[in-house]
Structure 1
Amino acid sequence: MDTDRLLADRYRLVAELGRGGTGVVWQARDEALGRQVAVKAIRAAAELSPAEARLLYARLEQEAMTAGRVSHRNVATVHNVVVEDGRLWIVTELVRGLPLSAVLEVEGTLPPARAARIGAEAVSALRAAHEAGVTHRDLKPSNVLLGNDGRVVLTDFGIALVRTGAAHAGEPVGAPEFLPPECARGREPGPAADLWALGVLLYLTVEGVSPFRRDTPEETLRAVAGYADGALPAPRRAGPLEPVLEGLLRADPAERMSAAETERLLRVAAAGGTPRTAPPSSAGTRPRPAGSDTGDDARDRDGGRGTPPAPGTDPAPPAPSSSWDADRGPRGVLVAVAGALIVLLAALTVTVLLR
């Protein structure tokens, strides 16, 4: 038992918080600063050779140190990395709350607005991490903490390397049902892989089932690797989240919705609105010269009556200016004549009085 152990002459292990595929999480006390922290003890997969384990620890240590540069309210801050007793220990801030996986076990599914809020906070964290050059690689409900203070916090950046024993590039990293097609086919995960995983997580959160889980990990990987756009089981409870799911769960990573657009749509859905994606730009549309009018500008000036010219035709020249206003009609002319007569009569009256 490691209880009451003093790690690195600084972190005293107090109580075990949980166990998973990558190791044991402890609540600990930082004796130097007098604060509570979380410490994750990580041991490499048993099938790895000592040389492979050292390589894996070195890569994971670098991942943890890189993740430590990410400063964001939705990311569990990494305080320290310690190698001791043949294990890697990662010291992070202690977030009091429950993982999303535990909440889903109790509640089954979450309403779209609540799921959208969780997703918006998660993608905000991903944006900060990606800007710092960090990819999560294993985004799933157990790595999303719902804090007692209302925060949504992502944990375990890069730690999936240990569970899978993936010490080399090109090996699948992460839970199979959350892997994107490109990673299931052996490509190294990038930022777009995290966005795909977020799409699967949101689908699971509102629908209660993962769209790709099969009976075995191998069958799940085959289902993901063979996924093509349009093959996703139609969501029934997603409501306003449907455009987000469609935008994130695209087989080609280059076609996936950006993190910024994802966060925008999720914020709208979280507030009870209906997200609308921006219309795709036409590849054949030529750019307009600077200062040229758009159809909307023309309609604004002529009261909405403007009609864009048919494709391939030149726009009609502007009509010559005229003192006659078709909108005013005869009534407008009579009003103008009456006004002129009144002015003339006033002038005559003044002339008579002066004389």
Structure 2
Amino acid sequence: MIPSRVIGGRYVVLGGLGDGALGPVWRAQDRLTGRQVAVKELHLPAGLGAPEHALFRERLLREARGAARLGTTGLLAVHDVVVDSGVDHVVTELLDARRLSDAVARSGPLQGPQAVETARALLETLRAAHEGEIVHGAIRPRAVLLVRGGRVVLSDVGLAQALDHRRLMGREQLAANPDFHAPERITGGPATAATDLWSLGATLFFAVEGRGPFMRADVTATRAAVLDGPVPEARCGTPLAGVIAALLRREPGERPSAADALAMLATGSRAGRRPFWRRFLA
């Protein structure tokens, strides 16, 4: 095969995988290892100079290495960060998966055991990440990958934190995309474990309802709903609905930790000696 494009002198492009948050995503083969990978183009905000790009790459690699040390399969593995034609690219493992956003759009909201197991898997991943002092910062339906075989993976780990700098992503960008950002993020606060958990609550609401909990006709109305609107109730039954409601509490200190939310999910109801969600798997 004569490669039509080689990214960073190493990754031979085999085809497109779609569009990511900051640019196209490519299927590629690593010339060094022979494995196939996903390569995401990262088109950062215009006007950034070499120091800002270097800062971004340093932060992204630091976050990715920290996540890799956790040893959890719930985070998409980052293999490399390279520059090609002046554009930053992040190289990750390649999975046979659908984004949660696409799965819900095509097949409808998650039901019964799949909804509960998806919530459990994401909470387990966040528990490990937060215990390892890793904050995701951009949990949303498009960042959740449903892998063939049942694995549930959070992508973009490290990307949000690498961008979360006043020279790379300003407060106005958060305000312009408020759907799955916690209220305190929209008003300028930092990404924290508590903001991750709010975003997870909004993402799980989307998973079982097919829409964001605060989605409105325009950005201004959505932002106002996140900050001050009534919190809708998910109609997925207990204990998952109770977990979602707890995660969407506006006061960060009132939200459960990932470990506490897992306990709520497991003990919210009982069938004999088994946790409620185990009944779905019988």
- TM-score, length basis structure 1: 0.68
Q: What is the aligned-residue identity percentage?
A: 37
Count, aligned residues: 267
Equivalent position of 2:270 in the other structure: none
Specify which structure has the bigger relative contact order, considering alpha-carbon pairs within 8 angstroms and separated by 6 or more residues.
Answer: 2
**C-alpha separation between the residues in 2 aligned to 1:71 and 1:173?**
30
Deviation at 1:238, TM superposition (A): 3.8
Equivalent position of 1:256 in the other structure: 255
**C-alpha separation between the residues in 2 aligned to 1:260 and 1:215?**
35
Deviation at 1:242, TM superposition (A): 1.9
Deviation at 1:107, TM superposition (A): 2.1
Preserved CA contact (<8 Å) 2:28 2:36: yes
Q: How large is the Cα RMSD of the aligned pairs?
A: 2.6
Question: What aligned pairs does 1:228-267 form with structure 2 within 5 A after superposition?
Answer: 231-267=230-266
Structure 2's unaligned 5+ residue stretches are: 267-274
**C-alpha separation between the residues in 2 aligned to 1:14 and 1:270?**
41
Amino acid at match of 2:121: E
Instruction: Kindly indicate whether residue 161 of structure 2 is the aligned counterpart of residue 155 of structure 1.
Output: no
**C-alpha separation between the residues in 1 aligned to 2:238 and 2:48?**
49
**C-alpha separation between the residues in 2 aligned to 1:140 and 1:27?**
23
Q: Residues 24 and 162 from structure 1, CA distance in 2 versus in 1: closer, same or farther, beyond 3 angstroms? A: farther
- TM-score, length basis structure 2: 0.84
Deviation at 1:164, TM superposition (A): 8.9
Q: Residues 30 and 169 from structure 1, CA distance in 2 versus in 1: closer, same or farther, beyond 3 angstroms? A: closer
Preserved CA contact (<8 Å) 1:75 1:125: yes
> Which whole-Å deviations, capped at 9, do the CAs of 1:313-332 have from their partners, x for residues lacking one?
xxxxxxxxxxxxxxxxxxxx
Amino acid at match of 2:157: F
Preserved CA contact (<8 Å) 2:63 2:162: no
Equivalent position of 2:272 in the other structure: none
Structure 1's unaligned 5+ residue stretches are: 274-355
Deviation at 1:214, TM superposition (A): 1.6
**C-alpha separation between the residues in 1 aligned to 2:130 and 2:163?**
22
Q: Residues 270 and 99 from structure 1, CA distance in 2 versus in 1: closer, same or farther, beyond 3 angstroms? A: farther
Q: Residues 146 and 204 from structure 1, CA distance in 2 versus in 1: closer, same or farther, beyond 3 angstroms? A: same
Equivalent position of 2:118 in the other structure: 118
Equivalent position of 2:74 in the other structure: 74
Q: Residues 173 and 64 from structure 1, CA distance in 2 versus in 1: closer, same or farther, beyond 3 angstroms? A: farther
Preserved CA contact (<8 Å) 1:76 1:92: yes
**C-alpha separation between the residues in 2 aligned to 1:153 and 1:42?**
20
Amino acid at match of 2:243: V
Deviation at 1:211, TM superposition (A): 1.5
Deviation at 1:262, TM superposition (A): 1.5
Structure whose alpha-carbon radius of gyration is higher? 1
> Which whole-Å deviations, capped at 9, do the CAs of 1:42-79 have from their partners, x for residues lacking one?
11123x44368535454444434443434211111111
Deviation at 1:135, TM superposition (A): 1.2
Amino acid at match of 2:155: T
Preserved CA contact (<8 Å) 1:112 1:239: no
Deviation at 1:269, TM superposition (A): 4.7
**C-alpha separation between the residues in 2 aligned to 1:184 and 1:226?**
12
Q: Residues 130 and 220 from structure 1, CA distance in 2 versus in 1: closer, same or farther, beyond 3 angstroms? A: same
> Which whole-Å deviations, capped at 9, do the CAs of 1:8-64 have from their partners, x for residues lacking one?
332211111011331111111112111111111111123x44368535454444434
Equivalent position of 1:95 in the other structure: 95
**C-alpha separation between the residues in 2 aligned to 1:269 and 1:112?**
11
Equivalent position of 1:36 in the other structure: 36
